[in-house]
Amino acid sequence: MEADSEWQNPVKKRGRPSGVDHRKLVAIIKILAENPDGLWLRKIAQKARVHPTTVSNYIDKVLRPFVDDIILGSDEKPIIRVIRLKSSIMRKIHLGMSIQELIKTSQIIRNIGKSEQK
């Protein structure tokens, strides 16, 4: 009977914690800051050592206010995606704002937007 109770009340959740991995996010932003003309999505993934799907998801869901996303091909099936930081974000980085400060500001703005929608 003890085995049955273990299956009904699991103690530990397996796998990676849900949500954004800030280390990956910072790595992506740093790579974009080092390449102001932009990079292909796969090149960003390669340099950050992150799966291309993760890079794409972070760009679509978290980094949308930070980046210009140039898509060649159709929106449904892009041939190439070139991603670059917006010029206003590049200016903030050059003026000394840390990437962590940019992320915090973005999270605050996103939370304000969510609360106003309710």
Lowest mean pLDDT among 44-48, 59-63, 88-92, 106-110: 106-110
Task: Provide the 10 A C-beta neighbour count for residue 71.
Answer: 14
Residue 21: its pLDDT value, please? 86
Residue 100 confidence (pLDDT): 83
Asked if residue 63 is part of any domain, the answer here is yes
Note whether 59 and 83 are within 8 A (CB): yes
Residue 44 maps to a domain? yes
Of residues 38 and 72, more confidently modeled? 38
* Residue 82: predicted pLDDT: 92
pLDDT at 67: 92
| 107 part of a folded domain | yes
pLDDT score recorded for residue 61:
86
Confirm whether pTM is higher than 0.85.
Answer: no
Full domain range(s) for residue 53: 20-113
Identify the CATH number of the domain in which residue 73 sits.
Answer: 1.10.10.10
Compute φ and ψ for 71, nearest 5 degrees: -110, 125
- CB neighbour class for 33 (10 Å; exposed up to 12, middle 13-18, buried from 19): middle
pLDDT of residue 30: 92
CB 85 within 8 A of CB 33: yes
Between residues 116 and 87, the one the model is more confident about: 87
Residue 8: inside a domain: no
User: Per the structure, how many domains does the chain have?
Assistant: 1
| Residue 1 resides in a domain | no
Closest CA to 93 of 45, 36, 53, 33: 33
Residue 35 lies in a domain: yes
Mean pLDDT, residues 43-69: 92
- pLDDT for the residue numbered 114: 63
